[in-house]
Amino acid sequence: MFANDTIGTENSERTSKLDALVRLLDDDSTVVRDAVTFELASYGPGLGADLRKLANQPDEAGWKLLGRITADPYRRRLRLAWPHWMNIADDHARLERALTLLAEFQNGPRWRAPLGDLLDRLTGEYLARGDAKSPEDLARFLFREKDLQGIKTGPFLPDHSNLAHVIESGTGLPVSLACIYLLVGARAGLDIHACNWPRHFLARYRDGAGLFIVDPANGGMVVDAETFLSMQGTSREAAEAVLSFEVDAATIIARILGNLVRAYRSEGDVDNCLLVVDLLRDIESRMHAGAFC
């Protein structure tokens, strides 16, 4: 048998074994489930690529179980890679790198296209439309034509903060939608900024007519700043301060991590909750030290 034939046979056997293990994930026997868990936990970093080759993909419950079984190496990988995004000079690149790390961690062994590729695809589709490009036009494209929506009901889940999942599923938290808007906008050459509005993240931009506020989670609704401020009543002065505040990548990521802490806590996922708290403390300590200036 030639070397290539041997490799092909080994790969086929590996795939067959993995397929059998995945089928046994929900076996009635505790002994069987424990043995499957042990095998999958020791499978190695190639698990995600091998799972992608399976003809019969796990169902949603199976993916969640696989994520829990293989969580430790993904947590270690994220913890080791986390500090490096903070040293990137460009703020958009910094934001995208942090969001990419979080998406890779949350995807675990489940394959999704890299976040950068998904954002490139959205940008390419937007630019191919050929119309005049503007922040308002991009909001219409993303939140009406592509129908990216904010979560309406039910519990907020960790995946609502995973941009790869949000683009794939079409639903996410307001801050997740705003990040997609910012990063696609940057690729399209549009000057769009974040607005760290309490309880409901927004975006903003300026053009010749003044300052405009965009609500990504409400169909990309655009209102001028004066109209927006007129709705704030006695809180107008505080609202003006929020609108004028420059929001950097560290502030956005801190807000996303805060959402993840709450989501993991509500699921009873102690290990992931503690990890995210640790990442959040890293950011806060750097911010207090002025390391992001």
Give the pLDDT confidence score for residue 8 in this predicted structure: 47
Rounded to an integer, what distance in angstroms lies between the CA atom of residue 86 and that of residue 60? 33
Give the pLDDT confidence score for residue 169 in this predicted structure: 95
Residues (pLDDT < 50) of the chain are 1-9
In 3D space, the residue among 164, 155, 180, 149 whose CA is nearest the CA of residue 103 turns out to be 164
Give the pLDDT confidence score for residue 114 in this predicted structure: 94
Give the pLDDT confidence score for residue 168 in this predicted structure: 95
Give the pLDDT confidence score for residue 49 in this predicted structure: 79
Q: Which pair of tokens denotes residue 284?
A: 């806060």
Give the pLDDT confidence score for residue 47 in this predicted structure: 79
- Residue spans of the domains in the chain: they are 3-69, 74-288
Q: What is the model's pTM?
A: 0.87
Q: Which pair of tokens denotes residue 2?
A: 């030639």
Give the pLDDT confidence score for residue 183 in this predicted structure: 98
Rounded to an integer, what distance in angstroms lies between the CA atom of residue 216 and that of residue 97? 21
CA distances from 59 to 25, 38, 110 (A): 11, 20, 11
- Angle, helix 91-107 to helix 71-81, in steps of 10 degrees: 170
Angle at 226 between CA 136 and CA 190, to 5 degrees: 25
CA distances from 290 to 89, 141, 250, 256, 277 (A): 14, 37, 11, 20, 20
Give the pLDDT confidence score for residue 7 in this predicted structure: 39
Helix, strand, coil percent content, the chain, rounded in steps of 5 = 65, 10, 25
In 3D space, the residue among 175, 168, 182, 94 whose CA is nearest the CA of residue 138 turns out to be 182
In 3D space, the residue among 240, 138, 248 whose CA is nearest the CA of residue 193 turns out to be 248
Give the pLDDT confidence score for residue 5 in this predicted structure: 45
